[in-house]
């Protein structure tokens, strides 16, 4: 989640609708300038007892962040607490219960992306060895209750933790008990954004199935393959979901802007502090009628902040975020951007992917999204067949798109090999979650704690 500094170098007041459109229009880039930004979260736990460490305990999350400064990371503070790191590989930040996230730098090709992930994981593992902590690659804590988890000292999280129970039953689980992998991608124009948004949104259930990796809750099977995905169905209906309007004729920046204006606010950031504005209207803020800041009107940074508080399956800011995947192992961190870069960064692949989904109705898209958390690759797709069948075709399209990009590493390999973990999942027809369930009912003999040994980085 976005980490704010205490000030902004360029923070003009919003004076017109064009100012509200600026984050979207400034995101337009020629194809040669398209980049890949990968985000991945992991759970931090004490090796001795699998406990989630608190922020300020000895060897806890603060010490973890500070130990990483030896690798050239610079601390970012809020209220006197180090809550993030900045460096050439992007930003290291904290999710609400101490999940550690790398928001990677914008990179040209997937070989760089995977090298970046490798550097980061090697760094945190080395620091973890010093502090007695390790890192778990899953979509949800397999054994922790909400009450067992610490809360990080970030102002926006305190506001969100108070507000979540007012609007859904699972929002606290989303904040405290889940991890994800995401990828951020560019577009060249409004029309290019719209086509990529539609393909990404329609195929997000496929990504959810391929990366489904959260089958346990509090030590037991939870009845889902991606419980993390299920959580989003009852987090906050005003800021989540499949956004039917994206598929309407004429969709573009203006329509997404109106959607974002209707998303209730969480906060306003002023003088290094977060002011609670949960449930209030950004439209009122534009009119100077925000009760949390009477008479004040928003700045551009307030709008950028607000855009980061909508949580649809695909999100538009100055780039497009693909948000449907559970957290997972090392090779899946490289596989998610490979899937979406292969589909969206080559025009022939993008057109072929759109041909796979363009005839789906609103009801069919929603039914697929609703069925995937439980059924994974066996979910039925519109027109017949399963997500496993569709996955084979889509991975072939993505592979062709990556081949067409022709980015080679020193050994002469192109980017297509990063899809191999997904090809294996589709070939066996079992999600990562189903493989974990087989272990639970087999060799683990119902002892979910063994997941720490097998799924840690």
Residue 170: strand, helix, or coil: coil
Residue 4 scores a pLDDT above 70 = no
CA nearest neighbour of 39 among 240, 317, 370 = 317
N residues, the chain: 457
The C-alpha atoms of residue 411 and residue 432 are separated, in whole angstroms, by 29
**433 in any annotated domain:** yes
Q: What torsion, rounded to 10 degrees, do the Cα atoms 257, 1, 157, 141 define?
A: 130
Residue 82 has pLDDT above 90, yes or no: yes
Q: Can you give the pLDDT at residue 202?
A: 98
Our count of domains for the chain comes to 1
233 burial (CB, 10 Å; 0-12 / 13-18 / 19+) is middle
Residue 190 in any domain: the answer is yes
Residues 102-111, mean pLDDT to the nearest whole number: 98
Q: What is the DSSP letter of 362?
A: H
E-assigned strands of 255-395? 267-270, 273-276, 311-312, 314-316, 320-326
Q: Do the domain assignments include residue 274?
A: no
- Using the structure block, give the residue that is written with the tokens 């800041």: 293
Q: Of 234, 250, 106, 248, nearest to 191 (Cα)?
A: 250
Do the domain assignments include residue 9? no
Pairing of the two strands 273-276 and 267-270? antiparallel
Q: What is the pLDDT of residues 18-73, one digit of tens each?
A: 999 999 999 999 999 999 999 999 999 999 999 999 999 999 999 999 999 999 99
Average pLDDT, the chain: 97
Percent of all residues in the chain with a pLDDT value above 70, rounded to a whole number: 98
Retrieve residue 125's tokens: 């593992």
Host domain of residue 197? 17-263+310-455
Q: According to the model, what pLDDT value does residue 105 have?
A: 98
Over residues 394-418, mean pLDDT: 97
Q: Is the pLDDT of residue 8 over 80?
A: no
Neighbours of 398 (CB within 10 A): 29
Checking if the pLDDT of 261 tops 60, the result is: yes
Q: Average pLDDT in the 254-268 region? A: 98
Confidence tier at 1 by pLDDT (50, 70, 90): low
**Residue 391 belongs to a domain:** yes
Percent of the chain whose pLDDT exceeds 90: 98
Q: Is residue 295 part of a domain?
A: no
CA distance 19 to 369: 34
Which residue from 400, 456, 419 is spatially nearest to 206, judged by alpha carbons? 419
Within-domain flag for 146? yes
User: Do the domain assignments include residue 247?
Assistant: yes
Which CATH number goes with the domain that contains 316?
3.30.590.20
Q: pLDDT at residue 341 above 90? A: yes
Query: How far is residue 33's CA from residue 401's CA, in Å, rounded to a whole number?
Result: 17
| pLDDT for 355 beyond 60 | yes
């Amino acid at each position: 989640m976005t980490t704010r500094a205490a000030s902004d170098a360029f923070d003009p007041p919003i004076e017109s609708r064009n100012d509200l459109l600026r984050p979207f229009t400034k995101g337009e880039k020629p194809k040669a300038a398209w980049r890949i930004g990968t985000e991945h979260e992991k759970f931090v736990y004490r090796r001795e007892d699998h406990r989630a460490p608190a922020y300020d305990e000895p060897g806890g999350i603060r010490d973890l962040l500070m130990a990483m400064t030896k690798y050239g990371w610079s601390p970012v503070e809020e209220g006197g607490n180090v809550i993030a790191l900045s460096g050439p590989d992007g930003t290291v930040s904290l999710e609400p219960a101490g999940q550690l996230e790398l928001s990677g730098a914008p990179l040209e090709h997937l070989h760089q992306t995977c090298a970046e992930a490798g550097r980061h994981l090697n760094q945190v593992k080395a620091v973890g060895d010093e502090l007695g902590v390790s890192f778990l690659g899953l979509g949800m804590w397999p054994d922790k209750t909400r009450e067992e988890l610490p809360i990080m000292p970030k102002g926006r999280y305190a506001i969100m933790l108070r507000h979540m129970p007012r609007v859904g039953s699972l929002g606290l689980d989303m904040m405290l008990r889940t991890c994800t992998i995401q990828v951020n991608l560019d577009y060249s124009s409004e029309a290019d954004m719209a086509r990529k948004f539609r393909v990404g949104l329609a195929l997000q259930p496929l990504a959810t199935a391929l990366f489904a990796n959260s089958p346990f809750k509090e030590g037991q099977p939870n009845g889902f393959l991606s419980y993390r995905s299920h959580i989003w169905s009852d987090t906050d209906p005003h800021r989540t979901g499949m956004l039917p309007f994206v598929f309407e004729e004429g969709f573009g920046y203006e329509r997404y802007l109106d959607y974002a204006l209707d998303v209730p606010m969480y906060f306003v950031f002023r003088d290094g502090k977060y002011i609670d504005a949960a449930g209030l209207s950004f439209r009122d803020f534009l009119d100077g009628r925000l009760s949390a800041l009477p008479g004040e009107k928003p700045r551009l940074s307030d709008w950028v902040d607000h855009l980061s508080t909508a949580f649809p399956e695909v999100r538009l800011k100055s780039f497009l975020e693909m948000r449907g995947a559970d957290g997972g192992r090392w090779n899946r961190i490289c596989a998610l951007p490979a899937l979406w870069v292969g589909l969206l960064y080559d025009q022939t692949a993008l057109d072929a992917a759109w041909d796979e989904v363009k005839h789906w109705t609103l009801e069919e898209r929603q039914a697929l999204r609703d069925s995937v958390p439980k059924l994974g690759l066996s979910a039925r797709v519109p027109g017949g067949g399963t997500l496993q069948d569709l996955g084979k075709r889509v991975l072939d399209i993505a592979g062709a798109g990556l081949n067409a990009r022709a980015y080679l590493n020193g050994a002469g390999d192109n980017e297509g090999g990063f899809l191999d973990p997904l090809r294996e999942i589709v070939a066996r027809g079992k999600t990562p979650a189903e493989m974990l369930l087989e272990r639970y009912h087999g060799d683990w003999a119902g002892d979910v704690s063994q997941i720490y040994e097998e799924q840690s980085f």
